[in-house]
A = this chain, B = another copy of it.
Amino acid sequence: MTEKVEFPLANCELRSFVGEDARLYLSLEVVEIGSPVGDELVVRVEGAPMNPSDLGSMLGGVSADAFRLTDNGGLVADIPEADFGRFSERVGQSIGVGLEGMGTVVAAGELAQHLVGNVVAMVGGGMYTQYRKINAGDCLALPNGTSPEDGAGAFVNPMTSLSLVETMRRDGHTALVHTAAASNLGQMLVKICKSDGVGLVNVVRSEAQVTLLKGLGAKYVCNSSSPTFDDELVAAIGETGATIAFDAVGGGDLASRILAAMERANTGKTPYSRYGSNVYKQVYFYGGLDTSPIVLRKNYGMAWGAGGWLLFPFLEKIGNEATAALKARVEREIYTTFASEFGHSATIREILCPEKIRVAAARSTGSKFLIKPNL
């Protein structure tokens, strides 16, 4: 199974580059990898998911429709003038893409020789590459024989979904609301909450997604395109007692409507005050599927908070031991709770295709790509 590699190793990787010409380029570059030392591993990448955050760093928020082929097989898009300002720190820089991946260890430094031949999941960026040099500490052992489909998404979505529940507990809440809940991550959250007995109110945007989540055993699924959405949300929040929400949509007034529903579900339980109930309500934004501004209508009293939520700062805050406990659960439930579903796969050469980028960027249920660099 383990190939023999020689160093320096010529390695082909996908890069995203912003030029002073106000264009964003996606292209393949050949970079040499030197021999691993210490606890470094060199992993042949067999699968790397295209998560929403990867689309974000790859496309930089430029519309997928703007990409066209270049003469050398890459893609290019003009950055709209109004947006170019926010790229100031990226101009002239080429960045690797792909936060996580999995593969087989083909070489290792003197401290990690025992890992050669093992299958590992990795996190750390730049995974849309044939070979990735990485510290052993940034890897997670997978059973040998784990397929790219099963192992590629072992970090970001599993650790995020577990961390949302962990955040809920540490902030003193007992049930939660989740938006864009039909996503891969949302499906994992349904399974975690079912298994842990945690109340979960899923917010989706179509009846098909309601059916999908109910099929996984979700009890409360509210369709935001229903005319009775707000009332259904109040009822579900009332039954579960949810006072925290995790919003992957992150734009428009959805978060405001959730806070208002939480307030309505708790109105009358405490004496009237024009400052609203004293039940504390929290929304964390962890994604930005909707790039429009967040609109907060303030019809939910004063006991509320909102803020950004990111996985890595959270893991840093809870520390190594708590993080290891979450990782251990991912390892145990990799084929069940944390099974990923991919609608498509592509090599790093094949993904450089305007039509494929558009499918991936649609981020609709079933449009998720698995990158298989070496296939």
Contacts and interface: CB of A to CB of B under 8 A. Distances in A.
A298 B250 contact: yes
Interface string A276-306: 0010000001001001011111110111111
B293 A296 contact: yes
A89 interface: yes
Contacts of A295: 293-296
A89 B272 contact: yes
Q: Which DSSP category, helix, strand, loop or mixed, fits chain A's interface?
A: loop
A56 B275 CA distance: 10
A296 B291 CA distance: 11
A345 interface: no
User: Which residue, A89, A267, A268, A293, has most C-beta atoms of chain B within 10 A?
Assistant: A293
Given A305-B307, A306-B307, A296 B298 contact: no
Interface stretch (A67-75, A105-113, A201-209, A308-316): A308-316
Interface residues on A, range: 35 or more
A340 interface: no
Contact of A294 (B278, B298, B303, B307): B298
A278 B313 CA distance: 8
Given A288-B298, A297-B293, A267 B310 contact: no
Contacts of A294: 295-296, 298
28 contacts: A56-B274, A86-B299, A89-B268, A90-B272, A93-B272, A253-B293, A256-B293, A275-B308, A275-B310, A278-B313, A293-B295, A293-B296, A293-B297, A294-B295, A294-B298, A295-B295, A296-B296, A301-B308, A302-B309, A302-B310, A303-B310, A303-B313, A305-B305, A305-B306, A305-B307, A305-B308, A306-B307, A307-B307
